[in-house]
């Protein structure tokens, strides 16, 4: 039998080159490379630029080779270069991009209804980044719970139970303090929190902001949800993610967007959760390692100037 000493000897950790395991720490590519298909593609350059604008395919010679010293094209009028984690810069097409801000509603943030200090810390970063992106033509999508009485009859039991306490309350129940029925459309608890509601109204009047209802934790949980239709009808490819809770509704929508082939950029200082320690870290790790990229509102604002 093997000795205890042999069993305790640590084996060297194998070095994997599977990209999904090290997206935020991988070294620069040695030569320009194109990912995807003819219709939907990214181009990455040795400089660290990842062009997701789908504007220029890599030119190839007769043998199908790309020149190793090929340089990125000049920045276009509607393009923005944004620094992200992992020593990369992502180039987006502003006109084909949108910010998806999830559930920054009174029900989740108002001190009279909930204690969510980390969620409240997301308010100021959003108030800074939203006007900057509006000015560059990026659409602002406020994606929120907003139920109808008919939808109350279609919500699955696991979701119904999750929003109840001790078998009481839940979707459609009357909340104290004049906040209205829980997460029903056109109620005070379903409005955006404080200055965010004012920001939305400002953008809505200007035609830059849109309110999109959802009836599940993910805004893209099924085909032809309101969010899915909006993105397709407006030719949106690139999505910035913000809101609460990071490991619930934000993550659900983010993962579904990734499955559908959208470019996903998470705003790390504009998402939060009330979950125990580790919940947010897990989301940010996978947002940069698997689903796309992570940046923050300060870098985004700087890039729009």
Q: Considering the domain boundaries, does residue 29 fall inside one?
A: no
Residue 14 binned pLDDT confidence (cut-offs 50, 70, 90): low
What is the pTM for the complete model shown?
Answer: 0.91
Q: Which of 5-14, 162-171, 238-247 has the highest mean pLDDT?
A: 238-247
8-state DSSP, 250? I
- Number of domains, the chain: 1
CATH number (domain holding residue 200): 3.40.50.850
- Residue pair 144/190 in contact (Cβ under 8 Å)? The answer is yes
Query: Would 241 be classed as within a structural domain?
Result: yes
Span 131-170, pLDDT tens digits? 999 999 999 999 999 999 999 999 999 999 999 998 999 9
User: What is the C-alpha to C-alpha distance for residues 221 and 105, in angstroms, rounded to an integer?
Assistant: 20
Query: How confident is the model at residue 21, as a pLDDT?
Result: 52
Q: What percent of the chain has pLDDT over 70?
A: 92
Identify whether 217 is part of a domain: yes
| Domain assignment of residue 285, given as a range | 95-296
Handedness of CA 75, 79, 82, 87 (dihedral sign): negative
pLDDT at 128 over 80: yes
Residue 66 has pLDDT above 70, yes or no: yes
Q: What is the average pLDDT score of the chain? A: 92
Question: In which element (H, E) is residue 173 found?
Answer: none
Question: Does residue 264 lie within any of the structural domains?
Answer: yes
Per DSSP bridges, beta strands 79-84 and 49-51 are: unpaired
- Structure confidence by residue, pLDDT tens digits, 24-43: 578 999 999 999 999 999 99
* C-alpha dihedral, 187 to 192 to 197 to 201, nearest 10°: -70
Q: Does 274 fall in a domain?
A: yes
- Residue 223: per-residue pLDDT: 80
Q: Which residue has the tokens 């699955």?
A: 156
Q: Distance from CA of residue 228 to its chain's centroid? A: 14
The length of the chain, given as a count of residues: 305
68 part of a folded domain: no
> Cα 266 to chain center, whole Å?
5
Residue 222 lies in a domain: yes
What the block records as the tokens of 150 is 């008919």
Q: How confident is the model at residue 262 (pLDDT cuts 50, 70, 90)?
A: very high
Angle between helices 195-206 and 123-135 (to 10 degrees): 10
Instruction: Average the pLDDT over 120-129 and give the result.
Output: 98
Is 77 contained in some domain? Answer: no
């Amino acid at each position: 039998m093997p000795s205890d000493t042999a069993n305790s000897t640590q084996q060297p950790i194998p070095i994997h080159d599977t990209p999904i395991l090290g997206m935020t720490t991988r070294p620069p590519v040695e030569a320009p490379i194109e990912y995807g298909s003819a219709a939907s593609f990214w181009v990455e350059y040795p400089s660290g630029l990842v062009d997701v604008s789908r504007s220029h395919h890599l030119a190839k010679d007769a043998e199908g080779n790309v020149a190793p010293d090929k340089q990125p094209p000049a920045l276009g009028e509607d393009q923005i270069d944004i620094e992200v984690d992992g020593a990369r810069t992502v180039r987006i097409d502003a006109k084909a991009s949108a910010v998806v801000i999830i559930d920054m509603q009174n029900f989740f943030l108002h001190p009279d209804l909930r204690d969510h200090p980390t969620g409240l810390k997301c308010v100021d970063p959003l108030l800074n980044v939203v006007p900057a992106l509006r000015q560059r033509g990026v659409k602002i999508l406020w994606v929120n719970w907003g139920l109808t009485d008919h939808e109350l009859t279609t919500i699955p039991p696991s979701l119904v139970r999750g929003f109840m306490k001790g078998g009481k309350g839940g979707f459609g129940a009357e909340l104290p303090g004049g906040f209205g029925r829980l997460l029903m459309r056109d109620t005070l608890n379903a409005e955006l929190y404080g200055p965010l509601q004012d920001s939305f109204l400002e953008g809505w009047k200007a035609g830059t902001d849109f309110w999109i209802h959802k009836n599940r934790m993910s805004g893209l949980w099924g085909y032809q949800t309101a969010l899915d239709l909006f993105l397709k009808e407006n030719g949106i490819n690139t999505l910035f993610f913000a809101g609460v809770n990071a490991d619930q509704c934000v993550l659900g929508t983010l993962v579904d967007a990734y499955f559908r082939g959208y470019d996903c950029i998470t705003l790390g200082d504009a998402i939060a959760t009330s979950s125990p320690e580790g919940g947010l870290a897990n989301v940010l790790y996978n947002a940069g390692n698997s689903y796309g990229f992570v940046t923050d509102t300060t870098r985004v604002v700087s890039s729009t100037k």
